[in-house]
Amino acid sequence: MQWLLPMTQPSATSLPKPAIKPAPQHSAAAPKSITPSKPADIPAPSATTPETPAVPAAPAASPADDPFAQAPTAPRPPSASDILNQARLDVKKIDKELRAAYPERAPVPPPDSKQARLERGINAAHEAVPPKWYQAARIIELSTPDGENKTRTYKIVTGIGTYCINIRPDGKKYYTSCPT
């Protein structure tokens, strides 16, 4: 069971006391007359209208109005992790801007460099090993239809074996063993 207690009002000592002006005392013998204001006392309306429209001010919420309202806090400065997360979100945009600003690619290493020889060796070793039985077959195109012979030849390497498919221009296919 939960008990709800009434909210306590702020104590009288914490609230500022309003200044009380004593009421003017009128004597019964001398009644005071009210004089109308003179035209010189009334300010003339301005001829120009303000450029910005008047925006009504939002009423400020006092602590007595909303007891559950939290005090406004100043926004915290972004931390390093916030900046990194925002940069990760903007990577695609940054990459596009950099590619537009610098369209030239980095220079290609010479064909006899150590890096190029290493890449060729790794690729040759990868191609020499057939895929496992649970991996997809590798398809390598051996010829392209650019001459008199418009037959396409594809080498299919699977975990079970290797074979070639020849596709003639009329669409007929025939399977052969691959030339070595």
27 located within any domain: no
Residue 67 or 98, more confident: 98
138 located within any domain: yes
> What is the average per-residue pLDDT within 10-29?
58
Kindly report, residue by residue over 41-77, the tens digit of the pLDDT. 555 555 555 455 555 555 554 556 777 878 788 888 8
* Spatial separation of the C-alpha atoms in residues 41 and 121, rounded to whole Å: 100
> What is the average per-residue pLDDT within 140-159?
82
Query: What domain count does the chain have?
Result: 1
54 located within any domain: no
Q: What is the pLDDT of residue 173?
A: 94
Amino acid identity, position 65: D
146 located within any domain: yes
Q: What is the pLDDT of residue 150?
A: 82
What does the DSSP assignment read for 63-94?
A: TTT-TTPPPP-PPPPP-HHHHHHHHHHTHHHH
Q: What is the pLDDT of residue 123?
A: 92
177 located within any domain: yes
Tell me what the pLDDT averaged over the chain comes to: 76
Whether residue 159 contacts residue 130, with contact meaning beta carbons closer than 8 Å, is answered with yes
156 located within any domain: yes
User: Is 80 exceeded by the pLDDT of residue 107?
Assistant: no
Residue 138, domain extent: 131-180
161 located within any domain: yes
Whether residue 177 contacts residue 164, with contact meaning beta carbons closer than 8 Å, is answered with yes
41 located within any domain: no
- Closest among 142, 109, 138, 136 to 126, alpha carbons compared: 138
